[in-house]
Chain A
């Protein structure tokens, strides 16, 4: 893996500036990697060589003229297929959008490209980002590059696998209940969910609007920070994006962490947790202590309601967000004798089982007579969960938990049991509901060689602190290996 991962953002920059190779050559190198490895991994769904080489040539022209290169010049990146890309097929892992080509770019994509990144193509994912294993894609499951009989996690499994396998230097994923952090943990790479509002959602095809966030996968915390600092910022096209100025992550990351109080919530170390994962996380916390952090035991009493709350809020919003896929304007249309029949057949054939299940759950939760008992109550509990965090951050600077109770499970292992699948998100959904930033960083591997992820939460808009801790942990962890 280390050979595959040799490329980082600074390594690309150095090579391009030293004229060791051109952006075009680097792009070609990554396409050849994809060609070699993707048939087995199925991490990438669509390639955009025309756009990628055009961008590479632009970068090479800048190099030829010895002009200053933008921050991500020539960095090959992949984009999760729920994020709109102009002229590149965007399916959301669904049959219903099999032939949909967006006429516009998501803001995050536009920003990446203006920062010099080369967009290689689109990555596989669970259909409409609904899933925790990437087995819900209409285009087949993604395999975990660490162990190909295992899932890469989900829903951003393709982005995680692509970066872990060296098919891209970085990738964009989306996180609604853990869809960046959990696959990051399963594939053994840093994966970050920024604060809700930090990155524009414009162009992100919505699953659950009040939870969806775009964030980076990379092979180092530094690279994750490099991507985040490019894609973040207020966007006039997204009313929910925040105008909170970000700090210079690279400067912040190098600051000492000595004396930081890290909260360890007891609720995250309960039943259902793999003992080996527990051991690794405990070792990780011990490591943080060694580098100067001060662990503080916490209680976050509303944690146990997070999964139920999440699956009501997220499915309710999804039932509305996915209504536009009706066969009228774009995507799949199954012809029928009447409008009603066309709707039924198009959606019946276009959506997979998990998406239908969630649409039904959400429709039910919003129905008249049930709204108060489900949606409204869930929103109230959501507020309580967020308050748990606000109160905790009065006592600690950050919160450290496992990212997932288990390591990557085998393909097919949980597909027949949706509830078991939902529990894979048990440690990640709380931060989603609270709107706070969180990162998963590699925290060693279990005896069978499977990566474990350590999750660090910070207060809203405290990305720099989260990155600072993650970076320090990554450095310390590297010395141990």
Chain B
């Protein structure tokens, strides 16, 4: 429920803040996203992650001589949906191209990608930068196929041989190229967060970074603050978690400022984020000399997207995070912060609305959902989707519980325990309240006699209170709640205690 907090990196900070302030960093992201299709981009093999090596393969994705690609329509649909969610212009006509290079993970000696005529161009994504909102340009969205995976360790003769798993070969990807509109690592972080959210909302991808469904590279440069011209850009690869992105950008910006301050120049190159060393490292310059010899893929027809198909995809588009947040504030009277938390994922937001639909108070629901989320995260795998995490607690049960608190059937204190039990057992709140004997003590005389007992047992504190130490009041309340096992209405307890302490 809580978004990963943004922390500044300690390690890289050898550039004094006043020197840093003289520079501005310019960042553009390039993000590869695996489309959530059941089958590969150009053949019918499964895209399932984690199957035994080379079990999801066929002549097409193995690049066997004579095999030909056929475009997966679902992949095109998801790519189009992503492009529309990023406010891009989806081209009526786009084309696949071959990107030629030799590498063992590339079965055909070329990757089917898009070059001159990408699927979509010219979109944007909104981020919050400080108090205001900022639009980050999207240069293009294009489709391509993934490569296989080279495995170098864990085999006999690993010193002499590598192995290749082609399960991933041909899995459909989109590459989203962002404009160099970002000015700080925090903005890059926010941009990737919002991008991920939009893609998850639209079910374009599961965006699982650990499984490689979302991969991020960044182009980074620095320039003296106020300068018009961009500095020399460096491409930083392997930023495959939010943390790496933040750390690598911090490091790289400092490195470039350091170089300029020392009178050196920044070399245009590709650098790799070394996770364990905590620094970016130059990749072999050979990587640079590549001439990919792009040319139109003759085995595939140009892609034509009919206007009515595009409209159909647009119509089926779920509400995007921005719009949902605005609606939650407007319709349910939530604060911006509450809305941000509740729209963190589609499932989460859906759950909230389902609970509210069952008659629960929206703001109370927001509060109690946070509580439920803490429980969930303590017990379930973080990576599991919200629906799974909530396990047994149906929206109807949840709404009922929120109602029981509101109408005083259960105290807020005990509601926490009830919620925990609901989460564990799936039983409705009322049943748990009855079986645990948690129904509130409605008999005021009974409560009063417990209050009297507590005061009688603690004469020193009563004296303290009467001498003006009001802080001990909480102690009395606590004692009463303990004796009633939380079943007393806290307000009633307050009133009675105050009355008793004032008297005599």
> B100–A329 contact, CB under 8 A?
no
> A90–B65 contact, CB under 8 A?
yes
Interface core residue of A317, A323, A363 (most chain B CB under 10 Å): A323
> A375–B66 contact, CB under 8 A?
no
A102 at the interface (CB under 8 A from B): yes
For window 98-114 of B, CB contacts with A under 8 Å fall at 98, 100, 102, 104, 107-110
The proximity string for A residues 309-341 relative to B, scoring 1 for CB distances below 8 Å and 0 otherwise, is: 000000011011011111011100000000100
A97 at the interface (CB under 8 A from B): yes
> A100–B65 contact, CB under 8 A?
yes
Among B68, B70, B108, the residue within 8 A (CB) of A323 is B108
A198 at the interface (CB under 8 A from B): no
A206 and B110 CA atoms in complex are apart in Å by: 14
> B70–A237 contact, CB under 8 A?
yes
A422 at the interface (CB under 8 A from B): no
Minimum CB distance partner of B63 in chain A: A324
> A240–B301 contact, CB under 8 A?
yes
- Enumerate chain B residues within 8 angstroms of A240, measured Cβ to Cβ: 68, 298-301
> A316–B295 contact, CB under 8 A?
yes
A106 at the interface (CB under 8 A from B): yes
A148 at the interface (CB under 8 A from B): no
A159 at the interface (CB under 8 A from B): no
The proximity string for A residues 192-207 relative to B, scoring 1 for CB distances below 8 Å and 0 otherwise, is: 0000000001111110
A203 and B62 CA atoms in complex are apart in Å by: 13
> B109–A239 contact, CB under 8 A?
no
> A102–B66 contact, CB under 8 A?
yes
B501 at the interface (CB under 8 A from A): no
The proximity string for B residues 38-51 relative to A, scoring 1 for CB distances below 8 Å and 0 otherwise, is: 00000000000000
B378 at the interface (CB under 8 A from A): no
A339 and B106 CA atoms in complex are apart in Å by: 14
> B291–A367 contact, CB under 8 A?
yes
A343 and B106 CA atoms in complex are apart in Å by: 13
Interface core residue of A206, A316, A328, A363 (most chain B CB under 10 Å): A328
- Enumerate chain A residues within 8 angstroms of B63, measured Cβ to Cβ: 324, 329
A317-B298, A320-B293, A367-B293 in contact; A202/B110 too (CB < 8 A)? no
- Enumerate chain A residues within 8 angstroms of B64, measured Cβ to Cβ: 84, 102-104, 330
A236 at the interface (CB under 8 A from B): yes
> A203–B291 contact, CB under 8 A?
no
> A324–B107 contact, CB under 8 A?
yes
Looking at chain B's contact residues, the main secondary structure is loop
Give the shortest distance, in Å, between A407 (CB) and chain B (any CB).
33
A386 at the interface (CB under 8 A from B): no
Minimum CB distance partner of A369 in chain B: B291
Minimum CB distance partner of A100 in chain B: B65
Minimum CB distance partner of B164 in chain A: A328
- Enumerate chain A residues within 8 angstroms of B98, measured Cβ to Cβ: 320
Give the shortest distance, in Å, between B100 (CB) and chain A (any CB).
5
A322 and B102 CA atoms in complex are apart in Å by: 11
B69 at the interface (CB under 8 A from A): yes
A56 and B402 CA atoms in complex are apart in Å by: 78
- Enumerate chain B residues within 8 angstroms of A330, measured Cβ to Cβ: 64
- Enumerate chain B residues within 8 angstroms of A375, measured Cβ to Cβ: 295
> A205–B65 contact, CB under 8 A?
yes
B67 at the interface (CB under 8 A from A): yes
For window 351-389 of A, CB contacts with B under 8 Å fall at 363, 366-368, 371, 375
B278 at the interface (CB under 8 A from A): no
- Which interface class (under 10, 10 to 19, 20 to 34, 35 or more) fits B? 20 to 34
For window 53-109 of B, CB contacts with A under 8 Å fall at 59, 62-71, 98, 100, 102, 104, 107-109
- Enumerate chain A residues within 8 angstroms of B295, measured Cβ to Cβ: 316-317, 320, 366, 371, 375
> A202–B102 contact, CB under 8 A?
no
> B68–A239 contact, CB under 8 A?
yes
> A104–B59 contact, CB under 8 A?
yes
A319 and B295 CA atoms in complex are apart in Å by: 11
A84 and B299 CA atoms in complex are apart in Å by: 17
A202-B66, A240-B299 in contact; A103/B104 too (CB < 8 A)? no
A103-B59, A239-B299, A324-B107 in contact; A368/B291 too (CB < 8 A)? yes
A238 at the interface (CB under 8 A from B): yes
A5 at the interface (CB under 8 A from B): no
Give the shortest distance, in Å, between B46 (CB) and chain A (any CB).
18
> A366–B301 contact, CB under 8 A?
no
A329-B63, A343-B102, A375-B295 in contact; A324/B108 too (CB < 8 A)? yes
> B71–A368 contact, CB under 8 A?
no
The proximity string for A residues 143-159 relative to B, scoring 1 for CB distances below 8 Å and 0 otherwise, is: 00000000000000000
- Enumerate chain A residues within 8 angstroms of B109, measured Cβ to Cβ: 320, 322-324, 326
A322 and B291 CA atoms in complex are apart in Å by: 17
A229 at the interface (CB under 8 A from B): no
A320-B100, A324-B109, A326-B109 in contact; A209/B298 too (CB < 8 A)? yes
For window 260-317 of B, CB contacts with A under 8 Å fall at 291, 293-295, 298-301
A221 at the interface (CB under 8 A from B): no
- Enumerate chain B residues within 8 angstroms of A317, measured Cβ to Cβ: 295, 298
Minimum CB distance partner of A327 in chain B: B104
Minimum CB distance partner of B109 in chain A: A323
A201 and B62 CA atoms in complex are apart in Å by: 17
> A239–B110 contact, CB under 8 A?
no
Give the shortest distance, in Å, between B317 (CB) and chain A (any CB).
28
Give the shortest distance, in Å, between A379 (CB) and chain B (any CB).
8
A320 and B63 CA atoms in complex are apart in Å by: 12
Give the shortest distance, in Å, between B300 (CB) and chain A (any CB).
5
Give the shortest distance, in Å, between B205 (CB) and chain A (any CB).
25
A174 and B164 CA atoms in complex are apart in Å by: 33
A205 and B298 CA atoms in complex are apart in Å by: 14
- Enumerate chain B residues within 8 angstroms of A339, measured Cβ to Cβ: 104
A48 at the interface (CB under 8 A from B): no
- Enumerate chain B residues within 8 angstroms of A324, measured Cβ to Cβ: 63, 65, 107-109
A92 at the interface (CB under 8 A from B): yes
A103 and B300 CA atoms in complex are apart in Å by: 23
- Enumerate chain A residues within 8 angstroms of B294, measured Cβ to Cβ: 366
- Enumerate chain A residues within 8 angstroms of B59, measured Cβ to Cβ: 102-104
Minimum CB distance partner of B98 in chain A: A320
Interface core residue of B65, B102, B294, B299 (most chain A CB under 10 Å): B65
Given contacts A322-B109, A329-B62, A367-B291, 7 further A-B contacts (CB under 8 A): A83-B66, A104-B64, A206-B65, A210-B298, A323-B108, A328-B104, A329-B63
Shortest 7 CB-CB contacts between residues of A and residues of B: A323-B109, A209-B298, A366-B293, A210-B298, A205-B65, A203-B66, A84-B66
Q: Can you report 29 residue pairs joining A to B where beta carbons are below 8 Å apart?
A: A84-B66, A97-B65, A102-B65, A203-B67, A204-B66, A205-B66, A210-B298, A238-B68, A239-B68, A239-B69, A239-B70, A239-B301, A240-B299, A240-B300, A319-B100, A320-B110, A323-B100, A323-B110, A324-B63, A324-B108, A325-B65, A328-B164, A329-B107, A330-B64, A339-B104, A367-B293, A368-B293, A371-B293, A375-B295
